[in-house]
Chains A and B, each alone.
Chain A
Amino acid sequence: MLCFAVWRLAAFRPEGDSLLICGAADLCAAGVLFLACLPLVKLPTVRGRVLSRVTGGIGAAVSAGIFAVMLWEAADSLRYSFPDFYSAPAVIAAAGAGAVYCASMGLRGCARAACAAVVMTLVVLALLMAGAGERFEADRLHLAVRDARGQFGREFLRALVRSGEIPLLVILRGEVKAPGKALAVWLGGRALLSGVVMTFCAGVLGEFSALGIPVDSLSSYSRTSVIERFDALVLLVWVLCTVLGAAGAAAGAIRCGKTALGRTEIAQSDHT
C-alpha cells in the first residue's frame, strides 16, 4: 500500500496553482477513505458459495482495473518525463509482465519486496532533498491563491477516485493479518511522505511546483557532487513501486478470480 502512495506521489500532477493545496486535498481524501474503509476491512470474508463467487468476480474486475490504470499511468508519466525513450505499449508490456511474474511469486513475496522498495524510495528522496536543500526558501510556500476552495475540491475528488489501494485492501483483507493496522500505517506513511515531499517541492520550485510533475521537476533541480541530476534514480524507485503495486493488484485479481471459479487458497501476510 505504501508502494501505491509512492507511485501516486512520484507521478502526482496537481490541478491548479498551488501544490500545497493540492497536497492537502490529497491527504484529506486519504483521511476520509481511512474512516470510510476502516469498518469495511474488518468485515469477515464472505461465506456462501454463490455470494463468494459473485464477490470474487467483482473483486477480480476491480483488481484488474486497478492493475490496468497503474500501468496506463506509468506509461503516461514515462512518456511525459522521458519522451525520447519509452513507448507506451513497450512500457505497459514490460511492467505488466514484471508485475504478473511478481504476483506469481505470491502476495507475501510482493509485500516483503514492497517494504524494501519503500525503504529504497525513502533513501532516494532523502538524497534528492539533500541535493536540492540549498534552493529551499520558506517564502515560496505561499498559500494565498485564487479559488483555493475550488482547487481543493477538484483535487479531493480526483484523489478519491485514484486511491486504488483502498479497494484492494478491502478485497485482500482475508490475506492480511491486521488490515486495520495496515490501513493506519498507510495513512500515516502517506501523510508524512506527501507532506514532506510536497512542502519541499513547493519551497524549492515556488510557483513552478504546480506545473507538470513536481517530483520530476525537483529531481532535475537536485544535484550532489557525484550525481548531477536525480531523474533516473527517481524513475528507478518509482517504476519499482509501480511494478510491485501492480503486482499486488494482479495478485488480488488472481485470488478473486480463483474465488469466482471456486478455487481458493488462503495465505496471510502482515505487511503493508
Chain B
Amino acid sequence: MDKYTVSPQAGENIDGLCKLMGGSADLNTAQAELCGVRCAVASIEGMASAELISELVLRPLAALAPLAEGDGKRLYSLLTEGALLTADRKLPADLREAASLLFSGFAVVFVEGGGAAAFGVQGYDRKAVGEPSSEHNIMGSQEGFCEALRSNISLVRRRMKTPSLRLEMLTAGNKTNTDICLCYLSDRAESSLICDIKRRIRSVGLDAVLASGTLKPFLEEKEGVGLFSEVSATERPDVVCAKINEGRAALLIDGTPFALICPSLFAENFRTVDDACSKPYFVILMRLIRYIAFFFAVMFPGIYVAVANYHPEMLTLKLLLNLTASERSTPYSLFVEMLIITVLLELMKEAAVRMPKAVGSAISIAGGLVIGDAAVKSGIISSPLLIIVGLTATASFVIPGLSQQISALRLVYICAGGTAGFFGIAVVSAMVMTNAAGMNDRGIPYTAPLLPFIRSGAADILSRKIRRRLEQEHTVVSDYRE
C-alpha cells in the first residue's frame, strides 16, 4: 500500500500529512472524538479562514455527529452527501492531493472509518481590487487585476456573463504549482489555439512560475528570434474581456496582476479602451498621434544623428546654422553625445522604476534639472540634442506595451545613423520590418491586418468601426489567418 494513501485512522492521516510536509510550521491540525467517531481537521494558517472553518466545517460536523450514531462511515457519508457545507468541495484520493488542496486554502476533514473530504474555506490576505498602475484611461473601468487568482476570475466573469465563457484551471511550476486560469469563449476561440496553449503550459519545465512574464517565452512561437512578442500582458479585466471576445485566449496567473493574452498583434499596441468611447474622427487623430509617437521614440534620435552628420543638405539653412552653432561648443561628436544622453535616459528610467517612491522626486530633480541643465550649461551636451532626447522620452511613454522594443531599437538606430547615415537606417529598417512581418503566431501574422493587407480588419488600424458596422460585423483574430 502507498504510504500516502488515505488511512481509515484519522490520526494516521494527520501524521502522514505532517511527515509529507516535513512538520511545516503553518500546518494547523485538530483532532477530536465526536459521538464516538474520531475526526481530524487540517488546514494551512494564512490560507484558510479560521472563521469560515468554524462556521462551515466544525459546527456542521458537530451537528451531524449525533446523527451518525458512532458510525464513521455514516458520518462521512452525511458530511459528503447528506449536507451542503460549502460550494467548493473535493474528495482527495490520497494525502498528496489533500496537501495540494490545503495549499489552495481548503480545510481537509478526516473521518475515522470514512475517508477524507476537503472544503474550500479560503481566507488568505489579498490586495484589494484597485486601479491599474500601468494602463490608465479616462472613460473606461478603473478596476485592475490583483494578485489573487479567484478575485481576478470574478472580475472577468462579472463582465462576461455568458455560458460560453470557459475558465479552465491549469498548473505550472514543479515546486510552486502555480494556478493558472485559461479564459476563452468557446464559440469564438479556435480549438487548435486552446489545445496548443494547454500543451505549452503543461510542458513548462520550470521549478517556479512567479510572474506572468515567466510564461511568455513558452507561449511564443519563435522564442528569442522575434524583436516583438506575440503574447501581450494587461492588468485590465475589461481588456481581457474585449480580447477573448475577439477569439483570443487569456491566462490569469495566481500571484500576479498581469494577464497574458495570445495571440497579440502589432496594431493592438496602438489601441486603448478609450477608443471605444470616443468619436471616430478623434480616434483617427489619437491613433495617428500614437503611430507618430512610436516612430519618434524609435527613429528620431537616429535620424537626427544621420542628418546632422551625413545629410545636412536636407535641412533648411537657418536650422542648419542654429544646429552648427550649438554643436560647435560641445567636445564630443554628435553620435557620441547622443549615445551618452540616451544611455543616461535609460539609466534614469530604470532608477525611476526600482527606487522607493519616497525618493522619486529627488531623482526627478537630480536627473531632469541638475544633470540636464548642468550638462548643457557646461557645454558637454548641446541644447537641440537635449530637446530631441526629451521629445523621444515623452513619445516612448505613449505606447507602454512596446517600451522594451523602443529602448533597444532606439540605440540600434542611433548606432546605424551615426555610422552610416540613412544607408544604415535603411538597412536596419529592412531588418526590423522583416523581423516583425515574418512573425506568425499559430498562423496569424503579427503585422495583420496591414501586412498582409486584410480588407475586413484594415479599418481598425486607424479608426474604430461605426455603430452599424460594430453591430453587423464581428471580427475575430482567426479571420486574419493566412
Q: Which residues of A pack against B, CB within 8 Å?
A: 78, 82, 85-86, 90-91, 94-95, 98-99, 101-102, 105-106, 108-110, 112-113, 115-117, 220, 225-233, 235-240, 243-244, 247, 270-271
A85 to B417, CA, bound (A): 12
Say yes or no: B423 contacts A239, CB within 8 Å: yes
Say yes or no: B437 contacts A112, CB within 8 Å: yes
Say yes or no: B313 contacts A109, CB within 8 Å: no
Q: Does any Cβ of A come within 8 Å of B431's Cβ?
A: yes
The A interface is mostly helix, strand or loop, or mixed, namely helix
Say yes or no: B426 contacts A239, CB within 8 Å: yes
The B interface is mostly helix, strand or loop, or mixed, namely helix
Nearest-CB distance from A42 to chain B (Å)? 22
Say yes or no: A116 contacts B451, CB within 8 Å: yes
A232 contact from B421, B431, B447, Cβ within 8 A:
B421
Say yes or no: B437 contacts A235, CB within 8 Å: no
Residues of chain B contacted by A244 (CB below 8 angstroms): 430, 434
Q: Does any Cβ of A come within 8 Å of B242's Cβ?
A: no
A102 to B428, CA, bound (A): 10
B452 contact from A91, A226, A233, A270, Cβ within 8 A:
A270
Instruction: List residues 308-352 of chain B with CB under 8 A from any CB of chain A.
Output: 310-311, 313-317
Say yes or no: B422 contacts A236, CB within 8 Å: yes
Say yes or no: A117 contacts B314, CB within 8 Å: no
Nearest-CB distance from B432 to chain A (Å)? 9
A91 to B314, CA, bound (A): 22
Residues of chain A contacted by B482 (CB below 8 angstroms): 270
Residues of chain A contacted by B311 (CB below 8 angstroms): 231-232, 235
Residues of chain B contacted by A227 (CB below 8 angstroms): 314
Residues of chain B contacted by A85 (CB below 8 angstroms): 310, 420-421, 423
Nearest-CB distance from B304 to chain A (Å)? 12
A82 to B312, CA, bound (A): 13
Say yes or no: B313 contacts A110, CB within 8 Å: no
Say yes or no: B447 contacts A112, CB within 8 Å: yes
Q: Chain A: which residue is nearest B421 at the CB level?
A: A85
Q: Does any Cβ of A come within 8 Å of B445's Cβ?
A: yes
Q: Chain A: which residue is nearest B430 at the CB level?
A: A243
Say yes or no: A110 contacts B434, CB within 8 Å: yes
A115 to B306, CA, bound (A): 25
Given known pairs A109-B434, A244-B434, the reply for A232 and B452 (CB within 8 Å) is no
Nearest-CB distance from B442 to chain A (Å)? 15
Q: Does any Cβ of A come within 8 Å of B438's Cβ?
A: yes
Q: Chain A: which residue is nearest B453 at the CB level?
A: A115
Q: Does any Cβ of A come within 8 Å of B93's Cβ?
A: no
Given known pairs A98-B431, A117-B433, the reply for A228 and B314 (CB within 8 Å) is yes
A236 contact from B316, B426, B434, Cβ within 8 A:
B426
Q: Known contacts A108-B438, A109-B438, A235-B422; can you find 11 more A-B pairs with CB under 8 A? A: A85-B420, A98-B430, A98-B431, A102-B431, A113-B433, A115-B452, A115-B453, A227-B314, A228-B315, A228-B317, A235-B423
Q: Does any Cβ of A come within 8 Å of B440's Cβ?
A: yes
Say yes or no: A113 contacts B313, CB within 8 Å: no
Given known pairs A94-B420, A106-B438, A239-B422, the reply for A231 and B313 (CB within 8 Å) is yes
Q: Chain B: which residue is nearest A84 at the CB level?
A: B310
A230 to B437, CA, bound (A): 27
Nearest-CB distance from B185 to chain A (Å)? 29
Given known pairs A108-B440, A112-B447, the reply for A229 and B430 (CB within 8 Å) is no
Q: Does any Cβ of A come within 8 Å of B128's Cβ?
A: no
Q: Does any Cβ of A come within 8 Å of B427's Cβ?
A: yes
Residues of chain A contacted by B437 (CB below 8 angstroms): 105, 108-110, 112-113, 116
Residues of chain A contacted by B313 (CB below 8 angstroms): 220, 228-229, 231-232
Say yes or no: B430 contacts A247, CB within 8 Å: yes
Interface size class of B (residues with CB under 8 A): 35 or more
Q: Chain B: which residue is nearest A220 at the CB level?
A: B313
Q: Does any Cβ of A come within 8 Å of B424's Cβ?
A: yes
Nearest-CB distance from A97 to chain B (Å)? 8
A-B pairs, 8 with minimum CB distance: A109-B438, A239-B426, A112-B437, A232-B311, A105-B438, A113-B433, A112-B451, A243-B430
Nearest-CB distance from A106 to chain B (Å)? 5
Question: Which of B317, B430, B450 has the most CB atoms of chain A within a 10 A radius of its CB?
Answer: B430
Residues of chain A contacted by B423 (CB below 8 angstroms): 78, 85-86, 91, 94, 235, 239
Q: Chain B: which residue is nearest A86 at the CB level?
A: B423
Residues of chain B contacted by A101 (CB below 8 angstroms): 431, 434
Q: Does any Cβ of A come within 8 Å of B210's Cβ?
A: no
A-B pairs with beta carbons under 8 Å apart, 10 shown? A112-B452, A113-B451, A115-B452, A116-B437, A229-B313, A231-B313, A232-B313, A236-B429, A243-B426, A270-B482
A233 to B424, CA, bound (A): 13
B427 contact from A105, A106, A220, A243, Cβ within 8 A:
A243
Residues of chain A contacted by B420 (CB below 8 angstroms): 85-86, 90, 94
Question: Which of B307, B313, B317 has the most CB atoms of chain A within a 10 A radius of its CB?
Answer: B313
A91 to B427, CA, bound (A): 10
Residues of chain B contacted by A112 (CB below 8 angstroms): 434, 437-438, 445, 447, 451-452
Say yes or no: B310 contacts A105, CB within 8 Å: no
Question: Which of A113, A116, A225 has the most CB atoms of chain B within a 10 A radius of its CB?
Answer: A113
Nearest-CB distance from A189 to chain B (Å)? 15
Say yes or no: B438 contacts A116, CB within 8 Å: no
Residues of chain B contacted by A106 (CB below 8 angstroms): 438
Nearest-CB distance from A90 to chain B (Å)? 8
Instruction: List residues 431-482 of chain B with CB under 8 A from any CB of chain A.
Output: 431, 433-440, 445, 447, 450-453, 482
A102 to B436, CA, bound (A): 11
Q: Does any Cβ of A come within 8 Å of B156's Cβ?
A: no
A240 to B430, CA, bound (A): 6
A233 to B426, CA, bound (A): 10
Q: Chain A: which residue is nearest B424 at the CB level?
A: A94
Residues of chain A contacted by B434 (CB below 8 angstroms): 101-102, 105, 109-110, 112-113, 244, 247
Residues of chain B contacted by A108 (CB below 8 angstroms): 437-438, 440, 445
